Amino acid sequence: MKRLYVAHYSHISLGIINMFISALFFAMMNACVKILAPAMSAVESIFFRSIIMVVLLLVFFAFKPPKKKTKQGGWWLLFLRSLFGGLSMLALFYNITHISLGVASTFSQTMPIYVVLLSMIFLRERVGFVVLFATLLGFGGIVLICDPHFNSIPVLNIIVGIIGGFMMALAFISLRNLKGYFDDNVVVLVFGITMSVVSLGILVTQAFLEHSWSAVWSNPSPSEWIIVLIMGIFGTFGQYFLTKAYMLAPAGIVAPIDYTRVVFGLIFGIMLGDALPHISVVLGMVLVILSGIIIGLPNLLKDLRSIKGERI
C-alpha cells in the first residue's frame, strides 16, 4: 500500500512538472509569434504553426497509433472544439502581434471565468459563493488590464482578448464532452488540420479580395523560416506535455500551474522589447491569476482528499 501511495504521488509530481514544461513551451511559442510579427500576419503564423503540428503528429502516430475509444460519434463536438479553439488561437496570435506579450497571454487565461458563467447559464450548474466571488474578482482584473480610460490598450485588442477567452471557454466545455469519443492526440490532430485549412482559406480569400498573393504572403527569410519551425515545434511540445500532465495527475492539481504561462509571457515580452506594464495592469494580471486558482480550488481540494483517502 505504501509503494502504491508513493507511486501515486510520483505521478502527481510528474503531472505538475509536465504542466510547467507545457506552460514554458507555449510561452516560447508565443514569443516566436511576437518575433515574427513585423514580417508575418497572425493568420500566416497560425497556418505554419498548425501545419507543422499536423506533420509532427502524423510522424508520432506512425510509431504509436492512437487508441480506439468505445463511444461512437462525437464528430460535431470535435468540429465545434476545433472551431472554438481556432478562434481563440486567432485572437491570441492577433493580440500578440499588436500588444504586449504578457497582457495578450493574460487575456487567453481568462477562460475559467467564462466557464463559470457558461456553466451557470447553459448547464444550470450551481455555483458557490467563493467561486462567484472569484469570478467577479477576475472580471475586476480584466477591467484593470483594459484600463477604464483606454490609454494603454486599443479598444479592438480588448474586444479581441475578451472574445478569445470566451472562445477558449467554449472549447474547454466542448472538450469535456469529448472524453470517451476520441484519443487525446486525435483531438489535437483534427484541431491542427482544421486550423491549417481555415487559415489557408482566410489567406486565399484575402489574396482574392486584394488581387495579390504577395499582399498576404510574407515569403519568410531563411532566419524567419527557422523561427517558424521552432514555433511549430514549441507549440506541438506544449500540447504534448499539456495532455500528458492531465493524464498523469488530477486536473484540479495541475491546472493552476498553467498560469505560469502569464509570468513567462511577461518576462519574454520585456526581453523582446515590451514596455514595463503599468501598475494597474500588473494588478489586473494578478487578479486574473488569483481568480483562476480560486475557481479551481474546489477541484484541487477534492483531488487532494481523494489522494488522502487512497493513502488510508
Q: Tens digits of per-residue pLDDT, 77-110?
A: 888 888 888 888 899 999 998 888 888 888 887 8
C-alpha 186 chain-centroid distance = 17
Does a structural domain hold residue 1?
A: no
Work out whether the CA dihedral 259, 265, 267, 270 comes out positive or negative: negative
pLDDT at 6: 43
Range of the domain at 240: 12-308
Q: What is the pLDDT of residues 214-258, one digit of tens each?
A: 767 777 888 999 999 999 999 888 888 887 777 676 665 677 777
Write down the mean pLDDT value for the chain. 80
pLDDT at 300: 63
58: nearest Cα among 190, 238, 181: 190
Q: What is the pLDDT of residues 273-302, one digit of tens each?
A: 888 777 888 888 888 888 877 776 766 666
| Number of compact structural domains in the chain | 1
Measured between alpha carbons, how far is 251 from 18 in angstroms, rounded to an integer? 12
Q: Do residues 254 and 21 lie in contact, with contact meaning Cβ atoms separated by under 8 Å?
A: no
Q: With a cut of 50, say whether residue 1 has pLDDT above it.
A: no
Does a structural domain hold residue 237?
A: yes
Does a structural domain hold residue 2?
A: no
Does a structural domain hold residue 235?
A: yes
Does a structural domain hold residue 44?
A: yes
Does a structural domain hold residue 6?
A: no
Please give the model's pTM, rounded to 2 decimal places.
0.80
Instruction: Count the neighbouring beta carbons within 10 Å of the beta carbon of residue 211.
Output: 7
Which distant-in-sequence residues (6+ apart) come within 8 Å of 218 by Cβ? 39, 40, 41, 44, 224
Does a structural domain hold residue 263?
A: yes
Measured between alpha carbons, how far is 36 from 41 in angstroms, rounded to an integer? 8
Does a structural domain hold residue 117?
A: yes
